[in-house]
């Protein structure tokens, strides 16, 4: 299975998230899944890619040419695809992926997560979308989505597009299930 992971190009402050991201990457490799990600060598992205490679797994990075230097493109992965822009990056990653996982990150991670949820909602495809809720990182977003459902802005069935995993094993289980 090709699992696209959205995550930070920053490491963040919480070292337990670093360790859990490494464990996620080890299990991804051990289960024979391929990592599809944003192509960077820094932040949580770098932690994931390095750990997958160190454990004998395959990594495909997709990076826009304008971010090649800024995000310090990872030169040690299985394949690095350079694209024209962010739209092409997200489209390429989506085409390659069988499932999507969000780990902690910033605006880019959140934007990619919500776009992929929307693509499922409007029927571009039906692929599992999972947040791995490390240390409750996504709790406020989950609450916001629940509030939007309660307020009638998101249909309950569309709220089910986003799967929430509290553990790494649960995350992989949800990735393997039909989404909607």
Q: For residues 150 and 92, what is the distance between their CA atoms, to the nearest angstrom?
A: 34
Q: Which of 38, 35, 34 is nearest to 89 (CA)?
A: 38
3-state secondary structure 28-79: HHHCCCEEEECCECCHHHHHHHHHHHHCCCCEEEEEEHHHCCCCCECCCCCE
What are the domain boundaries of the chain?
A: 2-175
Assign domain 2-175 one CATH number from 3.40.50.450, 3.40.190.150, 3.40.50.2300, 3.30.70.20: 3.40.50.450
Q: Is pTM, for the whole model, over 0.85? A: yes
pLDDT at res. 178: 60
pLDDT at res. 180: 42
C-alpha dist (Å) from residue 137 to 52, 88, 141, 152:
23, 28, 9, 25
pLDDT at res. 176: 92
User: Across the 180 residues of the chain, what is the mean pLDDT of every consecutive 10-residue run?
Assistant: 96 95 98 96 95 98 79 86 93 97 97 97 96 97 98 97 97 81
pLDDT at res. 58: 98
């Amino acid at each position: 299975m090709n699992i696209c992971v959205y995550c930070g190009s920053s490491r963040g402050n919480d070292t337990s998230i670093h360790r859990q991201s490494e464990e996620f990457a080890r299990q991804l490799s051990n289960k024979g899944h391929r990592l599809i990600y944003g192509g960077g060598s820094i932040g949580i992205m770098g932690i994931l890619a390095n750990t997958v490679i160190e454990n004998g797994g395959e990594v495909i990075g997709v990076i826009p040419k304008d971010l090649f230097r800024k995000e310090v493109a990872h030169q040690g992965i299985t394949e690095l695809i350079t694209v024209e822009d962010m739209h092409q990056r997200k489209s390429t990653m989506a085409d390659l992926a069988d499932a999507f996982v969000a780990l902690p990150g910033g605006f880019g991670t959140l934007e990619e997560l919500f776009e992929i949820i929307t693509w499922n909602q409007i029927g571009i495809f039906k692929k599992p979308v999972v947040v791995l809720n490390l240390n409750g990182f996504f709790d406020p977003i989950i609450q916001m989505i629940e509030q939007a459902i309660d307020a009638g802005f998101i249909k309950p069935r569309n709220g089910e597009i986003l799967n929430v995993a509290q553990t790494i094993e649960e995350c992989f289980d949800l990735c393997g299930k039909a989404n909607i």
